[in-house]
């Protein structure tokens, strides 16, 4: 077997040259362990792509078993063997599609899709695998290609006669697949982020989505959530459905759910507040400027992915000291000082520890300190 060439943590190239077992994808599970975590006795979704001139692009699940050789699909073996024999200078690439490297957040829920099964009524509930072909109507080929890889699609259907949410899924490739369904010939390979079932489906009437007119969305198509006519406060809808799905995340996506849930807990504001003053309970209400939590979650998610979750003032790291992903988010220009609605970008936010955050909101000589000014102040104290 030719030596494998690593391309990334989840993909590698296999040259045809010196291959002695042309019909084997690879010889053993341990042979590719260097390239990604292919655990023994599991099924993994792989994409095998030959050079474009050969027109072979395979996406399917393969059983990973130690000391067992893995073969190309039988219906392609004759064609593949001929290509490998006659083109020793060429190669194919293997990419693991069902990795858990991506951390998803509520803001990734961008699409809504109403589905049904013409025979059973309920769709996509009987799969044991963590991926399937999501079908689209014949006349809506372009619509099927619209969601991007890693965009999350919220699946809506009737279960036991009740409007329900059943899945969060995301496309794993841009490839459009021919479906076997007569009226739904186009499909996209999607992996499951979270999935309910017939016994514990999410009843729409229990969620914030009960106020949204979902019946107007064309059956079978995907629709951007913000384009659903009655959908207001998109970030609240995204957070709400994420919370409802939190007990339904598939094992490979638990990290996304756990990290986001931890971040959301930090952001919760109880209003009104119950406080104690001189031994007497007093109810205090606040008028606060609304904050969009989605961008705060994204700021923290990126820091977690980049292994840079530490205070931007003093460099204190909660993961290193407490093995916790706790951190606070500071608006460099306080929302309370803004006039009207403002556009906030990731660059307008800073991740800080609780101590530094309190100091950034404390006036010194009548003025608030900037990130840089607080850094200098701390450094001067350290150098004394």
Residue 376: pLDDT band (50, 70, 90) is very high
Of the listed ranges 98-102, 174-178, 267-271, the one predicted with least confidence: 267-271
Asked if 331 and 343 count as a contact pair (C-beta separation under 8 A), the reply is: no
Asked if 73 and 116 count as a contact pair (C-beta separation under 8 A), the reply is: no
**DSSP sequence for 8-65:** ETTEEEEESTT-S-TTEEES-GGGGTTTS---TTEEEEEEEEE-GGG--EEEEEEEE-
pLDDT recorded at residue 275: 44
CB atoms within 10 A of CB 379: 11
9-25 confidence digits (pLDDT tens):
577 888 887 666 666 66
180-193 confidence digits (pLDDT tens):
777 888 899 998 99
Asked if 194 and 249 count as a contact pair (C-beta separation under 8 A), the reply is: yes
Give the N- to C-terminal CA distance of the chain in Å, as an integer.
Answer: 65
Q: Which two tokens stand for residue 264?
A: 């959301």
Summarize the confidence of residues 56-74 as an average pLDDT: 74
Cα distances from 224 to residues 138, 161, 367, in angstroms, run: 20, 25, 44
Asked if 124 and 312 count as a contact pair (C-beta separation under 8 A), the reply is: no
Is 106-251 CATH 3.10.590?
A: yes
Q: Which two tokens stand for residue 259?
A: 């990290």
Q: Which two tokens stand for residue 344?
A: 């906030």
Helix (H, G, I), strand (E, B) or coil at 302: helix
Upstream peptide bond of 24 is cis (omega within 30 degrees of 0): no
pLDDT recorded at residue 304: 80
Mean predicted lDDT score pLDDT of the chain: 78
190 beta partners: 132, 171
Residues 6+ apart with CB under 8 A from 17: 2, 88, 89
Of the listed ranges 102-106, 195-199, 287-291, the one predicted with least confidence: 287-291
pLDDT at 359 over 80: yes
pLDDT recorded at residue 269: 38
**Integer-rounded Cα radius of gyration of the chain:** 26
pLDDT recorded at residue 268: 46
Residues 6+ apart with CB under 8 A from 116: 122, 123, 157, 158, 219
Residue 159, phi then psi, degrees to nearest 5? -125, 125
Distance, in Å, from the CA atom of 279 to the CA atom of 275, rounded to the nearest integer, reads: 10
**DSSP sequence for 61-121:** EEEE-TT--EEPPGGGHHHHHHHHHH-TT-EEEEEE-S-S-S---GGGEEEEEE--BTTTB
pLDDT recorded at residue 207: 93
300-336 confidence digits (pLDDT tens):
888 887 778 899 999 998 878 877 777 888 888 765 5
Cα distances from 135 to residues 21, 141, 155, 274, 383, in angstroms, run: 36, 10, 12, 51, 65
What predicted TM-score, i.e. pTM, was given to this entire model?
0.56
The residue extents of the domains of the chain are 5-96, 106-251, 288-383
């Amino acid at each position: 077997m030719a030596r494998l060439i690593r391309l990334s943590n989840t993909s590698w190239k296999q040259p045809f040259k010196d291959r002695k077992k042309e019909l084997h994808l690879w010889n053993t599970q341990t042979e590719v362990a260097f390239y990604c975590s292919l655990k023994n006795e599991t099924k993994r979704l792989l994409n095998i792509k030959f050079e474009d001139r050969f027109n072979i692009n395979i996406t399917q699940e393969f059983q990973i078993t130690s000391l067992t050789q893995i073969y190309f699909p039988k219906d392609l073996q004759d064609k593949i063997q001929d290509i490998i024999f006659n083109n020793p200078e060429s190669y194919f690439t293997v990419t693991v599609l069902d990795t858990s490297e991506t951390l998803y957040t509520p803001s990734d829920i961008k699409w809504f899709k109403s589905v049904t099964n013409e025979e059973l009524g309920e769709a996509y509930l009987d799969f044991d695998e963590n991926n399937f072909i999501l079908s689209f109507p014949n006349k809506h080929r372009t619509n099927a290609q619209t969601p991007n890889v890693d965009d999350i699609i919220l699946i809506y259907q009737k279960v036991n006669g009740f409007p329900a949410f059943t899945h969060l899924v995301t496309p794993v490739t841009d490839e459009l697949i021919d479906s076997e369904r007569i009226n739904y010939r186009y499909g996209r390979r999607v992996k499951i982020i979270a999935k309910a079932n017939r016994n514990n489906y999410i009843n729409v009437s229990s969620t914030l989505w009960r106020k949204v007119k979902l019946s107007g969305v064309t059956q079978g198509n995907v629709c951007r959530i913000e384009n659903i006519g009655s959908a207001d406060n998109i970030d609240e809808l995204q957070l709400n459905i994420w919370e409802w799905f939190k007990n339904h995340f598939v094992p490979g996506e638990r990290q996304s759910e756990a990290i986001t849930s931890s971040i959301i807990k930090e952001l919760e504001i109880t209003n009104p507040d119950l406080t104690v003053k001189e031994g007497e309970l007093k109810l205090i209400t606040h008028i606060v400027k609304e904050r969009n939590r989605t961008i705060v979650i994204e700021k923290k998610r990126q820091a977690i992915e980049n292994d840079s979750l530490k205070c931007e003032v003093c460099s204190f790291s909660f993961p290193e000291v407490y093995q916790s992903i706790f951190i606070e988010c500071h608006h460099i220009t306080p929302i309370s000082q803004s006039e009207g609605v403002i556009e906030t970008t990731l660059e307008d936010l800073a991740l800080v520890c609780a101590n530094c955050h309190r100091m950034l909101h404390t006036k010194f000589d009548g003025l608030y300190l900037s990130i840089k000014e607080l850094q200098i102040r701390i450094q001067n104290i350290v150098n004394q």
